Structure 1
Amino acid sequence: MGRGPNLHKLLGDRPEWSNRLVEARVAKGLTQDRLARQIGVSQTMYSSFETGRSEPPFVVLCKLTDALGVSLDWLLLGPRSVPHASTAPVKEADIRVIRQAAQDILGVLDLKA
């Protein structure tokens, strides 16, 4: 199973997703330690996600979104208007990212594509 897309390459140096991670955690009234325990990582590791020093694996991203009650697209990309599917061109790079994410999910579920 591949690690999936590199968030740093997709989102830049101090990614905004880490700010949204802090925002969502605080809105839920959780400490870093409590959330880290919920998703099965150390507080030190979780802190590195919030500061942008490290990137959570896809499985951990899924656990984070579940624990925080946010969507993966909101966490990674933030609130933005999405054009209607019939008018939005699909880029080949987007298709590759979606395929890799699907393979990662199926791998976590121990299924084959």
Structure 2
Amino acid sequence: MEIGNNIQFSNNLRFVRYKANLSQQKVSDKLCITRARYSKYEEGASEPPFFVLIKISKYFNVSIDDLLLSDLRKHKQV
């Protein structure tokens, strides 16, 4: 699956994790993936498969559209 704007996604992923005050290990454990794999998503070096993207969206309570297309740093409610 190609996400498109991988930089926006990786920035948003890092932002929501920081905002939730969670470590990469904590999030990756919850998503049932390795920390190394999760780290690659935040670095923009890899894109998650669709089922992991859905898990991420649900875990952080952020729509997939917002994760992929918006700059979440500019949203006040996140």
Q: TM-score, normalised by structure 1?
A: 0.59
Map of 2:75 onto structure 1: none
Tell me, in whole angstroms, the C-alpha distance in 1 between the residues paired with 2:22 and 2:60: 9
Map of 1:34 onto structure 2: 26
Indicate which of 27, 41, 44 corresponds to 1:49.
Answer: 41
- Runs ≥4 residues deviating over 6 A: none
Task: Flag structure 2 segments of 5+ consecutive residues without an equivalent.
Answer: 72-78
RMSD in angstroms over aligned alpha carbons?
Answer: 1.2
Answering whether residue 69 of structure 2 is matched by residue 77 of structure 1, we say: yes
Map of 1:21 onto structure 2: 13
Q: Which structure has the greater CA radius of gyration?
A: 1
More helix by share: 2
Higher relative contact order (CA 8 A, sep 6+): 2
State, as a whole percentage, how many aligned pairs show the same letter. Answer: 34
Tell me, in whole angstroms, the C-alpha distance in 2 between the residues paired with 1:53 and 1:16: 13
